[in-house]
Amino acid sequence: MVQKVMPNSHLRFNGSLWVNLDISLRRLDQVIGRVISSLNLTIIEWYILRALFERDGQHASELARAVGRAATSFTPNLDKLQSKGLIERRPDPTDRRAVHIFLTAEGEKYRAEVHRTAQEVDTMMRRQFASEDLDAFLSVLADLQDLDIDQD
């Protein structure tokens, strides 16, 4: 049963949106980290595999955007996955500066467990909200993901 709490009654720093969102995300990282710990993947590696399961062969820059990371600092994440034998880089035949990222056969073996753990995390989180609150929360998440970071 979901209990209703007065808005802002337990938020930190006078209800600062950014600070409380950041604290919440750090807590969720801990929860997700526990759920996926048996996979021997970091959270970012887990995100990358999820994105590749949706569309294999993405440009590295597209993949970075898909998981919410800057392309300029994304290479070490790909290096680790490649050293684990889970992905391979292939040059883009039309742009010598770009590479496509593909799952290896070993990386493909993670598909069922990554999907299972994703479902476990989603189910756990959905239990925290009444359905109307969840709809509003998902709408807010979508809006936050569409923020124009170049706007003054």
Model confidence band, residue 9 (pLDDT cutoffs 50, 70, 90): low
Could you read off the pLDDT of 68-108 as tens digits, one per residue? 899 888 999 999 999 999 999 999 999 988 999 999 999 99
Which helix (H) or strand (E) segment is 92 a member of?
strand 87-92
Which helix (H) or strand (E) segment is 19 a member of?
helix 17-36
- Burial of residue 66 (CB within 10 Å: 0-12, 13-18, 19+) is middle
Domain covering 35-126, topology: Arc Repressor Mutant, subunit A (1.10.10)
Could you read off the pLDDT of 124-139 as tens digits, one per residue? 989 988 989 988 988 9
What are the extents of the domains in the chain?
Answer: 35-126
- From the list 99, 91, 113, 94, the residue with the least C-alpha distance to 40 is 113
| Residue 11 in tokens | 């938020």
Could you read off the pLDDT of 49-66 as tens digits, one per residue? 999 999 999 999 999 999
Mean per-residue pLDDT for 30-38? Answer: 94
Bridge-based pairing of strands 95-103 and 87-92 is: antiparallel
Q: Output the DSSP codes for 102-130.
A: EE-HHHHTTHHHHHHHHHHHHHHHHTTS-
Residue 67 has pLDDT above 50, yes or no: yes
| Residue 18 in tokens | 């950014």
Question: What's the confidence (pLDDT) of residue 150?
Answer: 65
Question: What's the confidence (pLDDT) of residue 1?
Answer: 46
| 141 DSSP β-pair partners | none
Mean per-residue pLDDT for 8-21? Answer: 80
| Residue 135 in tokens | 């709809």
